[in-house]
Structure 1
């Protein structure tokens, strides 16, 4: 589930080909990266961004992948939040509320989650992914291409 902080036109313009490649791969300031997160080489995806991952995730410690929280970047800006959830985990019909490791700042000021919930509701046969405990964060100085 991607929650983009930029508009669709900006997202569609993200490319890691051509003359803007190096500018788009500029790493974000440390204030935009949560503790325990890394941005591995090769994580840039066209029309998405560069993915920052939580090294504390179970999948990096001998466990199967179930769910994690990913941050996305472009040209050093934090541009998306992504609760990434495995289909098998959803099929288990979870009801889990999990912490979100938050950075010190975001590229765009606003209210951002401290937790997220993944839940199945049998009465309506629905799955919900919710961002919870929204609280205000300042913006970090903007980078430009």
Structure 2
């Protein structure tokens, strides 16, 4: 794992004029918003090496200073040169969001690469990426250990904080909690066929918890599916109530950006929610 101190985030501003024309701005350009309909600014965090490429976290801020989207840009070359065997502990890359993302509930992304997928192999055995968007900081995540703190691992969130149709992985929560990761909550409406079938696993969205609190939201995507350069977007089912105040996403997207030769994994449609 390679964690580098964050540098000054890169910033990009996009202006959309009344007639819908988009203008990209770089530093030093004058800006006249008299005829602008709206504009957003993208701030990028420190890039980390993945495969032969990079992964870079970002946040998009609207004209009022509010976040509208967070995500990861994975360069196309990152899909090459990946480890062919899983490591112990699993290979992970930590991506720190720039400070402009502080109004969201997310602190950082843990990107995991599973060279042989996960169990059951006949369903989830296709090599894939997991993008854990964490709310606690990385130090707190690294302290998750169900053997040392079984009481914390066994404590699940109240039902009102769990999105409809999601359940924790079947089994004892203590046994199912992954060290330095958490307990996964799966979507019971999603059903997949065997690897190689028309219904095989390509992408999915899961939640994660620990010590009675939701701590991550996680899109997953197979390398094989990403190579098809997909354009995908789906709503995120929301709970009745929220455990912390901040901006939460209402949809997730996975797409190929031909202009930059990146794969973009995004959590967008941010809405402010109040803790109850």
Larger RCO: 1 or 2 (CA < 8 Å, sep 6+):
1
Q: In structure 1, list runs of 5 or more residues that go unmatched.
A: 141-145
Q: 1:113–1:133: 8 Å Cα contact kept in structure 2?
A: yes
Aligned partner (choices 160, 175, 178) of residue 45 of structure 1: 178
Deviation string 1:65-104 (CA, Å, 9 cap, x unpaired) is 1111111100110011111112222111101111111112
Q: Who is 1:9 aligned against?
A: 139
Aligned partner (choices 250, 256, 271) of residue 120 of structure 1: 256
Q: 2:146–2:152: 8 Å Cα contact kept in structure 1?
A: no
CA RMSD of superposed structures (Å): 1.9
Q: 1:38–1:55: 8 Å Cα contact kept in structure 2?
A: yes
Q: Residue 65 of structure 1: SS of its match in structure 2? A: coil
- 1:91-130 aligned at under 5 Å gives the runs 91-130=227-266
**Greater than 6 Å deviation, 4+ residue runs:** none
Deviation (angstroms), 1:15? 0.6
Q: In structure 2, list runs of 5 or more residues that go unmatched.
A: 1-130
Distance 2:182 2:249 in 1: 20
Q: Who is 2:204 aligned against?
A: 68
Q: Who is 2:153 aligned against?
A: 24
Q: 1:5–1:108: 8 Å Cα contact kept in structure 2?
A: no
Q: Who is 1:36 aligned against?
A: 165
**TM-score normalised by structure 2 residue count:** 0.47
Q: 1:95–1:118: 8 Å Cα contact kept in structure 2?
A: yes
**TM-score normalised by structure 1 residue count:** 0.87
Segment of structure 1 superposing worse, 6-15 or 60-69:
60-69
Q: 1:23–1:75: 8 Å Cα contact kept in structure 2?
A: yes
Deviation (angstroms), 1:112? 0.8
Deviation string 1:2-61 (CA, Å, 9 cap, x unpaired) is 11000111111101103x213322121011211000102253111110000101113279
Q: Who is 1:88 aligned against?
A: 224
Q: 2:183–2:208: 8 Å Cα contact kept in structure 1?
A: yes
Q: Which structure has the larger Rg?
A: 2
